[in-house]
Amino acid sequence: MMRQYELVDRVRRYNPATDEALLDRAYVYAMRAHGTQVRASGDPYFSHPLEVAAILTDLELDDATIVAALLHDTIEDTSATRTEIEKLFGTQIADLVEGLTKIKKLDLVSKQAKQAENLRKLLLAIADDVRVLLVKLADRLHNMRTLKYVPQEKRGRVAQETLDIYAPLAARMGMQDMREELEDLAFRQLSAEAYSSIDARVAELRERNGPLVEEIERELQTELSSRGIDAQVKGREKRPYSIWRKMERKAIGFEQLSDLYGFRVMVRSVEDCYRALGVVHTKWAIVPGRFKDYISTPKPNDYRSLHTTVVGPKRQRVELQIRTYDMDDIAEYGIAAHALYKDESGDQSIILSNESRAYAWLRKTIENLSQGLSPEEFLEHTKLELFHDQVFCFTPKGRLIALPRRATPIDFAYAVHTDVGNTAVGCKINGTIAPLVSELKNGDEVEIITSRAQTPPGAWETIAVTGKARAAVRRATRTAVRAQYAGLGRKIAERAFARAGKPFAEEAIAKAMPRLARTSLDDVFAAVGRGEIKTDDLVRSVHPDWTAPRADERGQGQAANGEGWFELKKGQNLKFKIPDASEAVQAIPIRGMNGDLPVRFAPKGGAVPGDRIVGILTPGEGITIYPIHSPELQTFEEEPERWLDVRWDVDELSDGRFPAQIVVTAVNEPGSLAQVATAIAEHNGNIEGIVMRSRSPDFHEMMIDLGVFDLRHLNGIISDLRSRAVVSSVERSNG
């Protein structure tokens, strides 16, 4: 265990003006407070806060942070109080210790909603003083280093939390060394076999290659020195978690990795960075597509460096990072590298540079707390922001927008402004018209084309990558859906009053709102559209003396035309008659539909329970149900107000059949049709129509209309058909 004078010496090494008396007082106080407490390892408990303080001295942090590290468990685990700590060590240190105590009480490993709320509290505490985060990260690092002493059932939860929350937070704060060690320690616990396998392969490679890293270091150093560049070169192997993540991301094996070694070149000035880059690219062949300039375009966590990969000495593929010594400090220590130890008045405190983009990101994340996100949405947004690597794009005016990998122009539009995202109808990437679903690349210039008539389609939520874009699409979709229901409900109400022989008047409905428990006409009509208010109740709220006719007086639904349309009356399920099939009418229960509008399936392809479906409203006609995969839906992309959210509501024991269409390509030989029909019959499928056409002398194509119970039933038929020798291919028709 580190002695008192050793801790003081560690701090004095980088801060000669340290308050030795303060450090001594905190050391003695924490040691006495923890007394005879022991850790799971059997070591005195005080060894833990002492090691946390030692980690923070490596980051060269101020006295207040070191003292807070020594005291961070005292309020929670001993009889010490905030009042006592404030009296002995001052308000600033007391605030830090109390902030850490609040975080210690959080149980981040929990169910999602609770975890989200706790993460919210964690970030709020960090926002008050970033030193809280620095101590917490050091605390977690030491706990991970000693995780083997923790009961087995707890290790996995702690390791997963580290990988989910703390390692990404360290990365966002630019603290790469801490991030990598946290990731490796968590990976070793969560995937011990994978960790051991990769570690053994790296050791085997190291033994086979001998002193390869040292040789490449020397050759790089010699080459730069011969060109008059004063540089320091350091090389190292990549860590197991970094290797595993790359193998997983690129879906490749260990043998296919060609850049297991990374080298850092540190020089004295930005000019020397680019000179060194020129020397490297002149001497060795560059690997195309692997150059990145994070000096002219820094990462959001303040990281600056030149990255390149070359086929270097000994034909070895070498990753190089070229940066100044100051850039290297920020790369290693991140936000902690912005720390000063005294302000001009001599007050000892940590001072974060206003240019710290890492802390600016943290403040921006905190601002999202005020946007009314649900806990689950907040958790999704924050994890998305933490996990993803970045791509950097520009507006036409040169504004830099940092986005996660795989981001689209939709994400870009919402990053510029929510209104820009909500009104986006198209985009230009590097001056060329491109789809809004395009994946953006580093350096792209993106121009968003907007229209005030646009409303973001709900499908954007599955396309967007950033939490901000997804949350904005959800809000806009909810607003649009409410407007759709209100418009639909108004039409239903008008028809209901007409059937009742009563005049439709919004003023009269407005006066009846208290009886309907609604506060606005839009609320009333939206409730009618969703089926929450029955039309009979609506009419009766305005005309209390009106009596609804009995069901037998209304008669049964009658076909409105020859295309399978049906007007649905009270008490009936939604019904649909398959065109050109039997005269029997099928019940199609679908949630989200009110029984006062005619409903039918799309004429091509059909839909079956299990399909995701949407309803398209045609004013004056009714609602058409489409499977979500139908290409016909593209016709309505510019009319989001017509889209209705509908769901199946079918009893699993129902024996009703639903229309589906498949295309079978079969060998052109006698008996092939019989084999196809037999396979369908064996699965209790019903062939309701078939069209055959020749594709070639050897094959013919059958377009078969089926009646099936649900999607599982349909997939079983398709799977069986594909196994038949006479069948070349089977696809479901998308309509």
Kindly state the helix (H) or strand (E) to which residue 55 belongs, with its residue range.
Answer: helix 47-58
* β-sheet bridge partners, residue 609: 611
77 belongs to the catalytic site? yes
Write down the pLDDT at residue 351. 39
636: its two tokens: 């309505």
Neighbours of 363 (CB within 10 A): 12
Q: Which CATH number fits domain 195-337: 1.10.10.1400, 3.30.460.10, 3.10.300.10, 3.40.50.2000?
A: 3.30.460.10
Amino acid identity, residue 301? N
pLDDT in tens, 4-19: 889 999 999 988 989 9
Which residue in the block uniquely carries the two structure tokens 């460096």? 305
Exactly one of 24, 43, 76, 180 is catalytic; which is it? Answer: 76
Q: Report the range of poorest mean pLDDT among 186-200, 267-281, 528-542, 596-610.
A: 596-610
By the 8 A CB rule, do 308 and 220 touch? no
Write down the pLDDT at residue 213. 83
pLDDT in tens, 31-51: 999 999 999 888 999 999 999
Backbone angles phi, psi at 264, to 5 degrees: -115, 125
In the CATH scheme, what architecture does the domain 658-732 have?
2-Layer Sandwich (3.30)
Residue 669 in this model has a pLDDT that exceeds 70: yes
pLDDT in tens, 521-541: 888 888 887 777 888 888 888
The DSSP annotation for 379-406 comes to: HHHHHHHHH--EEEEE-TT--EEEEETT
More confident residue, 640 or 61: 61
122: its two tokens: 């964690």
* β-sheet bridge partners, residue 285: 311
By the 8 A CB rule, do 392 and 443 touch? yes
By the 8 A CB rule, do 119 and 91 touch? no
Distance CA(632)–CA(290), nearest Å, equals 41
pLDDT in tens, 703-714: 898 888 888 889
Distance CA(262)–CA(245), nearest Å, equals 16
Write down the pLDDT at residue 370. 44
Q: pLDDT band at residue 667, thresholds of 50, 70 and 90?
A: confident
Using alpha carbons only, what angle is made at residue 77 by residues 71 and 81, rounded to the nearest 5 degrees?
A: 65
Write down the pLDDT at residue 625. 85
Write down the pLDDT at residue 381. 58
By the 8 A CB rule, do 404 and 389 touch? yes
Q: Beginning with the edge strand found earlier in the chain, give each strand of the sheet holding 643-645 in spatial order.
A: 599-601, 622-627, 613-618, 643-645
pLDDT in tens, 87-105: 999 998 998 888 777 555 5
Amino acid identity, residue 149? Y
Q: Which CATH superfamily is domain 4-193 in?
A: Hypothetical protein af1432 (1.10.3210.10)
Q: Report the range of poorest mean pLDDT among 67-71, 78-82, 255-259.
A: 255-259
By the 8 A CB rule, do 399 and 392 touch? no
Distance CA(200)–CA(629), nearest Å, equals 47
Evaluate whether 4-193 and 195-337 have a shared fold: no
By the 8 A CB rule, do 64 and 71 touch? no
* β-sheet bridge partners, residue 320: 263, 308
Q: pLDDT band at residue 176, thresholds of 50, 70 and 90?
A: confident
**What's the burial of 211, exposed, middle or buried (CB within 10 Å: 0-12/13-18/19+)?**
exposed
Residue 108 in this model has a pLDDT that exceeds 80: no
DSSP tag of 35 = T
Using alpha carbons only, what angle is made at residue 569 by residues 566 and 574, rounded to the nearest 5 degrees?
A: 55
Q: pLDDT band at residue 557, thresholds of 50, 70 and 90?
A: very low
Kindly state the helix (H) or strand (E) to which residue 92 belongs, with its residue range.
Answer: helix 91-104
Domain edges within the chain: 4-193, 195-337, 476-548, 553-648, 658-732
Q: Are strands 432-434 and 424-429 parallel, antiparallel or unpaired?
A: antiparallel
Largest distance between two CA atoms of the chain: 102
Average pLDDT across the chain, whole number: 78
Backbone angles phi, psi at 42, to 5 degrees: 95, -10
Write down the pLDDT at residue 551. 45
Write down the pLDDT at residue 360. 60
**What's the burial of 558, exposed, middle or buried (CB within 10 Å: 0-12/13-18/19+)?**
exposed
Which residue in the block uniquely carries the two structure tokens 């065109």? 579
Q: Report the range of poorest mean pLDDT among 191-195, 319-323, 591-595.
A: 591-595
Contacting residues for 171 by C-beta, under 8 A, at least 6 apart: 179, 301, 386
User: How many residues are present in the chain?
Assistant: 735
76 belongs to the catalytic site? yes
Distance CA(66)–CA(348), nearest Å, equals 12
Mean pLDDT of 347-356: 42
Distance CA(595)–CA(471), nearest Å, equals 32
476: its two tokens: 């806009």
Q: For residue 716, what are the CA distances in angstroms to 2, 639, 679, 708, 734? A: 68, 36, 10, 10, 18
pLDDT in tens, 501-518: 888 888 888 888 888 878
By the 8 A CB rule, do 145 and 185 touch? yes
More confident residue, 598 or 561: 598
Write down the pLDDT at residue 555. 41
By the 8 A CB rule, do 413 and 424 touch? yes
pLDDT in tens, 200-247: 888 888 787 778 888 888 888 898 999 899 999 988 888 888 888 878
Mean pLDDT of 133-141: 90
Using alpha carbons only, what angle is made at residue 519 by residues 515 and 523, rounded to the nearest 5 degrees?
A: 100
140: its two tokens: 């977690």
Backbone angles phi, psi at 688, to 5 degrees: -110, -5
- pLDDT above 90 covers a percentage of the chain that reads 19
Q: pLDDT band at residue 258, thresholds of 50, 70 and 90?
A: low
Distance CA(386)–CA(381), nearest Å, equals 9
Distance CA(226)–CA(221), nearest Å, equals 9
- pLDDT above 70 covers a percentage of the chain that reads 77
Contacting residues for 128 by C-beta, under 8 A, at least 6 apart: 95, 99
Residue 110 in this model has a pLDDT that exceeds 60: no
Residue 641 in this model has a pLDDT that exceeds 70: no
Contacting residues for 190 by C-beta, under 8 A, at least 6 apart: 156, 159, 160, 163
Write down the pLDDT at residue 518. 83
Write down the pLDDT at residue 578. 31
Q: pLDDT band at residue 442, thresholds of 50, 70 and 90?
A: confident
pLDDT in tens, 478-497: 787 778 778 878 888 888 88
For residue 379, give the nearest of 115, 150, 658 by alpha carbon: 115
Mean pLDDT of 300-312: 83
Exactly one of 9, 58, 60, 77 is catalytic; which is it? Answer: 77
